[in-house]
Every structure is written in C-alpha cells, then in structure tokens.
Amino acid sequence: MTSLHAALPPLKADLAGADGPSACPVPMTTLDQLPDGAAARVHAVLPATAAPDWPRWLAEIGFLPGEPVRLLSRAQPGGDPLVVRVGLSTFALRRAEAACIQVQVA
C-alpha cells in the first residue's frame, strides 16, 4: 500500500458520517404538494387538528405506509379536489385531506 492510500480514511467511514449510512435525506413532502403526475410512497398519515379521525379513514381506503401513490390531477379552478391513485384505486381527496399524507418522493 502506498503512503497516499495509508493516509486516506476508509471510504465506508466517509459515506456513513456521524449518523450512519441512512443519514442521506430522502425527499419528503405531503401529497397535496406533489406536482401533477408525480409518483411517491406513503410514509405516514398525520391527523389534522380539526379532524383527528382522518388518519383512520385514510388508512381504511388504502393510504398505508409503503403504498405507492400518484397525484393524477387537480380540479380547475382552485386545485381542489385532487385526483389521487393509491395502489390500484383512484380517489378524489380534498386538499386538506391530502395535506395529512406524508410521502417520500419516488
């Protein structure tokens, strides 16, 4: 091994950083913030202050962590409701409902 190689730290340590290999940020947003046609995966469903029962209802219709989701379109004018596909089902969601769904951008 040359002296240059001996002076460099291992590559794995460079990539891992202080927080380990998962420290690289995954793009996260809410479903209502996706552009039309964008694909993502459901990360979590969070309750709205005024509607604490929405996470249960959204889970019942298929918005579960890990499920693929796509924002198909928005109504015009105003962009409400949103046409959303989760798994193999398509729904119209109000923007406030979609704002409760945290997604990882694909």
Cα–Cα distance measured from residue 74 to residue 45, given in angstroms and rounded to the nearest whole number: 20
Question: What pLDDT is recorded for position 77?
Answer: 86
Name which of 24-33, 58-67, 73-82 the model is least confident about: 24-33
103 pLDDT higher than 70: yes
Q: In this model, does residue 6 exceed pLDDT 90?
A: no
CB 47 within 8 A of CB 76: no
Domains and CATH numbers, the chain: 26-105 (2.30.30.90)
Structure-token match 């928005």, residue found? 74
pLDDT tens, residue by residue, 31-51 = 999 999 999 999 999 998 888
User: Can you tell me the distance from the alpha carbon of 37 to that of 40, in angstroms, rounded to the nearest whole number?
Assistant: 10
Element (H, E) at 22: none
Task: Quote the CA–CA distance of 75 and 79 in Å, as a whole number.
Answer: 5
pLDDT for 12 beyond 60 = no
Q: CA–CA separation, 94 vs 99, rounded Å? A: 9
CB 93: neighbour CB atoms within 10 A? 22
